[in-house]
Structure 1
Amino acid sequence: MTSIGDLLVEFKEQPGKGDEPTVLTLTERNGFVRQADRFSKRLATEDVSKYKVVRRNEIAFNPYLLWAGAVAQNTIVDEGIISPLYPTFRVRDGHDPRYVARLLLTPQLIGAYDGIAFGSVPRRRRSSVHDFLNLPLANVPPLPEQRRIAAILDHADALRAKRRQALSHLNFLTQSIFSEMFTREPHPVVALGDIARIRGGKRLPKGASYAIGPTHHPYVRVTDLRGGAIQSSNLCFLTPEVQRQIARYTIDEGDVIISIAGSIGLTAAVPATLAGANLTENAAKIVPKDGQAYIGSWLARMLQSRSLQDQIAGKVGQVTIGKLALFRIEQLEVPLPPRALQEEFVERAARVEAVTAVARQESAAEDLLFASLQSRAFRGEL
């Protein structure tokens, strides 16, 4: 029976005196990244003499996160250095490095990594090099077939990367439209409290818990605020009995939600589908006073602008705990352009979002196709 040790050999190499290779970090989801890119600064100590060299196409894993798939191949620099805690490996002669790297990240092997992890703390379970190299493999094809499979998967993955890049550009497009329309020309500035009322949410009553499944009473948490919208995929729900106890703390279409604890300053406009939902105590709702001064989706976007986020950060800094007080939200100074201009932005943003939604669906379909392609490839059916 073939094992991972038949494809990889461990090695340990330290940087030469005076060498200054790029410091890399090994992540669960994105493989190797430059440490400076991930943390905006170099975290490694000044003395990196005991760090390990990892050259292009060489492989390493994080022994404390291998169970989560933290194994990667260096494809970003010709020579880097990583923490001495990470075991490093070279691909043995007679095997294709790209094929091996993809094989190590198949769902089947990641499941096997979980089986060799040991320790009592779930997020810190450790895996040994010995157990890793002794994991069995089946149906490892000859080198020409490995190269063919790797080329097909690399090509398919490149197409997925282009789609993700297009999505990133679409996300940036809405920001660019907003900046073009509202930051180049001055507009009257008002205190948010002059045009809206700020109301808090409510925690679950003592001893209460969420409903087991969906009900007619959604409960919006800060974790549901992502990408400038309320994401409905993981909403919690309340039983009618629990909802009656906090029935006053609901949201309506046209309100804007802003997080006031934890990840402070996240915003989203409330869609019609969530009118009547309950709101967490870690967020507040911004309710229009007359319904004419602003559009909710426009205000949610304005509150994400740099000037408003700077104001929000300053308001949090004035209190002793990490929470944004409701009266300080009222003090936020908001530029207020004509409603017709707000409507134009909302219309343009909606057109971009329609294109983005199609692109997301196509990206999800490509991900499913790639997973199927990869599964067939490593079963010898490609």
Structure 2
Amino acid sequence: MQAKITLKKTPIGEIPEDWEVVKLGDILEEVNLRAKSMEHFDNIPILSLTKNEGLILQKYRFNKKIATGDLSKYKIVKRGWVVYNPYVIWEGAIHVLGKFDIGLVSPVYLVWKPKEAVDATFLDYLLRTKRMLYEYFRLSEGVVQRRRSIKKYRFKDILIPLPPLPEQKKIAEILRTVDKAIEKTDEAIEKTERLKKGLMQRLLTRGIKHKRFKKTELGEIPEEWRVVGLGEIADLRSGGTPSRKKPEYWENGTIPWVKSGELNDGTIYETEEKITEIAVKESSVKMFPKGTLLIALYGATVGKTAILGINATTNQAICAILPKGELFDPSFLQYCIIHSRNRLISQSSGGAQPNIYLYVLKEFKIPLPPLEEQKQIAKILSTIDRRLELLRKRRERLEKVKRGLMRDLLTGRRRTVF
């Protein structure tokens, strides 16, 4: 329920009349407790600070323990205390400990204890608003961006709006409710992704209701299936890029032109750029029909796929996989390539970003069921994909709701009844 708002002018803008403007140093007290001050600290979890997940177990962040054997200089942090990394605080590396009662953190981090007039959860949200991240960046010093840091005295002098404690608690409760919904959605996404991975492994190697199998170079597959190279069932063609020096190729273009960065294992209905009919006639680009399977040959998205939901052209970093007759279902082949992507990339060459050469793609072996079974497998997996799409859209909506609530509640534009 919206309460009546009376505003007052302050150095940080208009805020509700009963809110205060305080310095962080007024509500936070630095704590410098070291592990060596405790008799037994071996069993205290070692925590690492992340921008998005907050303070998490160090071994989960790095998949190993990286702390030195001597933990005596590590700092103690307790539930409700604020921790930040002075070098990347402006990226959001500032959080309140909420997942553990106590932990040890790197001596590089600074630890602060909120005073009684502040709700720790409210503070956790407030300290990572856009305005606060901008303030951290503005006040940080250093020539090299990754080594910019904020001095303690500057941090303590930052002004914040502070509602009465009951309102802080209510704001925190509202935002936490949305966060819990996001967490539940994340769990559902993770569970569905595991289900899809398991189904892909089974369906693309064992098929549907098969009882007889044969050994092949790809492992055991159903007797009715074949092992084929992509070149046996498809023509492979790369695209091109019309000259940027010729405006007539680009201005007022109406023909979709796909770049490799737009491939993300889905379906393409719209492109970032379009070219003209003159470009198609006079350059190396080729028009590919709706339903064509595409794969990125190099670049940041190497190995990624997409199916054209429209007639379109592509750049030279993309290979179009065109069927030789009715030998494969594009959706099935897309799932097959996604499932075998690591094997495909390992057979290719290149440095940090490998290239997939056309001759490698032509010889790349895949298991090929009869066409009808391909369609059944694709239908099962596409059902899972639709579920994932709905969950991801729900998460996007929740994130949008959260951003709006943070913007309104943490500035006093919207009041709560408490």
TM-score bracket for this pair, using the shorter chain length: 0.7 to 0.9
Q: Which residue of 1 aligns with 2:341?
A: 309
The structural deviation recorded for 1:359 is: 3.6
Unaligned runs of 5+ in 2: 1-20, 208-220
Q: Which residue of structure 2 lines up, in the alignment, with residue 286 of structure 1?
A: 321
CA distance in 2, matches of 1:239, 1:157: 43
Residue 235 (structure 2) pairs with residue 197 (structure 1): yes
Question: Among residues 374, 382, 385, which one is paired with 1:342 in the alignment?
Answer: 374
Deviation of 1:104 (Å): 0.8
Contact 1:224 1:230 in 2 (8 A): no
The whole-number CA distance in structure 2 between the counterparts of 1:184 and 1:332 is 20
Q: Which residue identity lines up with residue 236 of structure 1 in the other structure?
A: E
Partner of 2:131: 108
How far is the alpha carbon of 1:101 from its aligned partner?
0.7
Cα pair distance change 1:63/1:330, threshold 3 Å = same
Distance of 2:168 and 2:189 partners within structure 1: 32
Matches within 5 A, 1:138-177: 138=161, 140-177=162-199
Unaligned runs of 5+ in 1: none
Structure number with greater Rg is 2
Task: Give distance in 1, aligned partners of 2:251 and 2:56.
Answer: 40
Q: TM-score, normalised by structure 2?
A: 0.77
Code of the aligned partner of 2:200: F
Contact 2:257 2:312 survives alignment (8 Å):
no
Q: 2:125 is matched by which residue type in structure 1?
A: R
Q: Name the CA shift for 1:18/1:122 in 2 (closer, same or farther; >3 Å).
A: closer
Cα deviation, residue 286, structure 1: 2.5
Matched, 1:3 2:11: no
Partner of 2:313: 277
What is the deviation of 1:47?
4.0
Give the aligned partner of residue 100 of structure 2.
77
CA–CA distance in 1 between the matches of 2:135 and 2:391?
Answer: 34
| AA partner of residue 163 (structure 1) | T
Residue 41 in structure 1 maps to residue 88 in structure 2: no
In structure 2, distance between residues paired with 1:32 and 1:89: 14
After superposition, what is the alpha-carbon deviation per residue over 1:31-59, rounded to whole angstroms, capped at 9, x for unaligned?
22333223322333444443333333222
Task: Find the aligned partners of 2:240 and 2:99 in 1 and give their Cα distance.
Answer: 48
After TM superposition, the structure 1 stretch with the greater mean CA deviation from structure 2, 316-325 or 52-61, is: 316-325
What does 1:44-123 correspond to in 2, within 5 Å? 44-123=67-146
Structure 1 residue identity aligned to 2:50: T
Percent of aligned positions that are identical: 24
Within 2, Cα distance between the matches of 1:352 and 1:152? 32
- Other structure's SS at 1:342 match: helix
1:212 to 1:255, Cα distance in 2 relative to 1, 3 A:
closer
Q: Distance in 1 between matches of 2:337 and 2:381?
A: 16
Q: 2:50 aligns with which of 7, 24, 27?
A: 27
Whether the 8 Å contact between 2:292 and 2:321 is mirrored in structure 1 is: yes
1:133, CA displacement in angstroms?
Answer: 1.8
8 Å CA contact 1:62, 1:71 repeated in 2: yes
Match of 2:272 in 1: 236
Residues 340, 215 of structure 1: alpha-carbon distance in 2 compared, 3 angstrom cutoff: same
Q: Kindly provide the amino acid, as one letter, of the partner of residue 52 in structure 2.
A: R
Asked if 1:254 corresponds to 2:254, the answer is no
- How far, CA to CA, are the matches of 1:245 and 1:129 in structure 2? 62
Does the C-alpha gap of structure 1 residues 92 and 251 become closer, same or farther in structure 2, counting only changes over 3 Å?
Answer: farther
AA partner of residue 167 (structure 2): E
C-alpha displacement of 1:75: 2.3
The root-mean-square deviation of aligned C-alpha atoms, in Å, is 3.3
The code of the aligned residue for 1:167 comes to I
**Partner AA of 2:343 in structure 1:** Q
Q: Is the 8 Å Cα contact of residues 256 and 296 (structure 1) preserved in structure 2? A: yes
Assess if the C-alpha contact under 8 Å between 2:237 and 2:321 holds in 1. Answer: yes
Mapped to 1, the partners of 2:60 and 2:251 lie a distance apart of 41
Give distance in 2, aligned partners of 1:320 and 1:376.
Answer: 44
State the Cα deviation string for residues 272-297 of structure 1 (Å, max 9, x = none): 22x2232242x43322222x121112
Distance 2:396 2:251 in 1: 26
Cα shift readout 1:8-37 (whole Å, capped 9, x = no counterpart): 222223323762543333222232233322
State the distance in 2 between where 1:124 and 1:218 align.
43
Q: Is the 8 A contact 2:34 2:75 kept in 1?
A: yes
Do structure 1's residue 129 and structure 2's residue 149 form an aligned pair?
A: no
Which of 334, 338, 341 is 1:300 aligned to? 334
Check 1:377–1:130 CA distance in 2 against 1; reply closer, same or farther (3 A cut). same
8 Å contact from structure 2 (residues 258, 312) kept in 1: no
- After the TM superposition, which of the residue ranges 25-34 and 248-257 deviates more from structure 2? 248-257
| Distance in 2, Cα, partners of 1:119 & 1:157 | 35
- Paired residue total: 373
Change (3 A) 1:355 1:264: closer
Aligned position for 1:376: 408
Q: Are 2:293 and 2:322, in contact at CA under 8 Å, matched by a contact in 1?
A: yes
Amino acid in the other structure paired with 1:41: K
Q: 1:334 offset after TM fit, Å?
A: 0.3
d(CA) in 1 for partners of 2:380, 2:163: 52
Superimposed CA distance per residue, residues 98-151 of structure 1 (whole angstroms, 9 cap, x where no aligned partner): 11111112223223223223344445433222212211012x123333222222
